[in-house]
Amino acid sequence: MVPSETSTARRRFLKLLATSPLLSCTGLPSGWMQALAAGQDRSGISSVQEALNVMDFEPAARKNLLPEHWAYLATGVDDDSTLRANREGFTRYQLRMRPLADISRLDMSIQLFGVRWNTPIVLCPVASLKGFHTEGEKGVARAARSKGHLQMLSTVTSTSVEEVNAARGEPVWYQLYARDQWSETLKLVKRVETAGCPALVWTVDLLGGSNRETFRRAQPPEGVRAPLCKNCHEGLRKPMYEGLAEQAGGEGSARAVYTWDGIKRLKDATRMKLLVKGIQTREDAELAVAHGADGIVVSNHGGRAGASGRSTIESLPEIAAGVAGRIPIILDSGVRRGTDIFKALALGATAVGIGRPYVWGLAAFGQEGVEAVLDLLRRELQMVMRQTGSTSISKITGASVVDRFGTIPSLTPSHSSGNR
């Protein structure tokens, strides 16, 4: 049973119990069960103040979106098993609590390429944000500015990089989908560099295409989409593609053929730092380092790329061992809690990215919702840092966690590699 079905069944049971004559035999106060039943229904939050965790924004976002918009955000690939694995993978690792440390001062800051950030929490690229709220990418940029978070902008943005940079108050990092023709890719790279973006994040995990069944099942019949929705993922204006040649294929089709020498071609074409996004094995992490990548993003596209059935958090230890602190590592996919962020940092990540959670906040309440999501995650991370006696990000190491088999990971921490 999927989580939404479980919640619905629980609410129905509690409501049934609340009206049952058996309730009088329990000795519980009048109205207690009704309140409990109502509390199980998270779809009714009407303000950001009501949210206790980032998951509370998910049903609120779903209520505001057309089914096909929601499906684009919610989909994984095939039967969504990799999407589920991303969440389940975090349960493999447990925390080693260390009380009685002096936790009067906490330092959550990190450095990436010489820039200090208030927290290790990164806003990952998500396409067509105006399809989820009219504030779109600008609303997210203003939230990132307000809270001091690193933001990556999708190639398939519904707002130009120039406008987003203006809203952010400084240039964002730019996520790149390479075009079929190198000359077209080069045009895109040069535009982004001219806009001042300091880093290019090349996504490679979709080069072979993806089979997003949940998204495809939710699409309206042919001819209905256009009048129904002018801001959908497929139909929304894509300003970064203006002036570029059309590409063959559509949603889920294979993209351009690129190999490892694509790293050198991109580095030769720009002064921006180059990160490779979509690394999932030690071998590929080592190849990325060998070919000159400035950083990597451990990602399976939130379960939307290949049907590996393997979570990114479970892939991280071998990747961190292969990188051995030489370049920064950012992890995304499945992050929902401060404890998730902590575990990723302990297992070798330099920073940790979120995607769906901040889009839930955006879809539910616009910029205010994004800010609330970031506040909740920061608060949760601060709490677990205090509970484990980790007074700075650098003190979160492999000794901070244990896997379910009782093994303490032996890793080379990569937090110190952020200045490369």
The model carries a pTM of 0.86
C-beta separation of 109 from 116 below 8 A:
yes
Predicted pLDDT at 405: 73
pLDDT tens-digit readout, 86-110: 999 999 999 999 999 999 999 999 9
Report d(CA 151, CA 270) in Å as an integer. 20
Q: Which of 133, 233, 301, 415 is catalytic?
A: 301
pLDDT-based confidence at residue 38 (cuts at 50, 70, 90): very low
Predicted pLDDT at 3: 46
pLDDT tens-digit readout, 141-199: 999 999 999 999 999 999 999 999 999 999 999 999 999 899 999 999 999 999 999 99
Q: Is 227 exposed, middle or buried (0-12, 13-18, 19+ CB in 10 A)?
A: exposed
- Domain ranges, ordered by start, for the chain: 1-40, 90-419
Residue 231 pLDDT exceeds 80: no
Q: How many CB atoms lie within 10 A of CB 181?
A: 13
CATH code: domain 90-419 is 3.20.20.70
- The yes-or-no answer on residue 301 being catalytic is yes
